[in-house]
Structure 1
């Protein structure tokens, strides 16, 4: 399942085990090694990511330009996808790499039958992908509640869903 993007000459592909260390190095470069101290990482510990929703973006030379991983979570007993981290190599920022990864994640999650997707991020940036603040959904502290965002992949998927986000452990 590969998708070649002509405008930026990138190939999007599902992350493989051989990509793992390179993706981890990209995350460290973009977010610093202390990234695992963030509260969202508590929801990822001991949880297998959703494999078909973990993507890499590589240029024509095979160099990693960006990556994203997605995780299963529950909110008030309802399943959701927790998107992130999404990272773009500093030399490729501003080229639309994150947007390509995001659009592919949304389409693939919908095609795989997921009804809701959430993340912690900047509302002004993610609004263009349909994300809105989830006022009644809480992430582990000290997450800023204004940065808890969600998008419905099917009509009304977030209606009535509220409460704390919890892990779906393996």
Structure 2
């Protein structure tokens, strides 16, 4: 049993340590991190999962981005991570579903991520044709959920 709560500023370093553990060195060199620089995540959507002893087991963050010349608003989901000792317990799916439910309730029309289509398709994500992440990103890994009709172009940092 896990307890999901909003990520607080005090959680930051513990969450960063989890991301360091779960992802390859140099993760911050990925193009998705360029979209996050200097932009705060959408705090009400960022969640942490703790076990009964209060130990961090997982975390997910959501970041606002713009897509295309018209600047369509979207959320960039990620990173999402589950501690290696807690994987296989459904926590990643729980974090994903909780975050997506909250995003819809907050009025976000679309969510995107960079990931493996066979895994994320179970949450409704499909390949986004015509939406381009800054290089180097494999276009087959650019996935979206929600209302993407007529939205094309390059993903850019939030400019509000």
TM-score (norm 2): 0.97
Q: Which runs of 5+ in 2 are unaligned?
A: none
SS at match of 1:158: coil
Counterparts of 2:24 and 2:8, CA distance in 1 = 23
The unaligned stretches of length 5 or more in structure 1 are 1-8
Residue 39 of structure 1: how far off its partner (Å): 0.9
Find the residue that maps to 1:56 and give its secondary structure: strand
**Equivalent of 1:112 in 92, 106, 130:** 106
RMSD: 0.8
Moved over 3 A (4+): none
How far, CA to CA, are the matches of 2:23 and 2:124 in structure 1?
Answer: 24
Q: How many residues are aligned here?
A: 158
1:5-28 residue CA offsets vs partner (Å, 9 max, x unmatched): xxxx10000000110000000000
Q: CA offset at residue 34 of structure 1?
A: 1.1
Task: Provide the secondary structure at the position in 2 that maps to 1:85.
Answer: strand
Task: Say yes or no: does 1:48 pair with 2:48.
Answer: no
Residue 11 of structure 1 is matched in structure 2 by 3
Deviations along 1:114-133, whole A, 9 cap, x unmatched? 01000000000000000000
Q: Choose from 84, 109, 113 the match for 1:90.
A: 84
Match of 1:129 in 2: 123
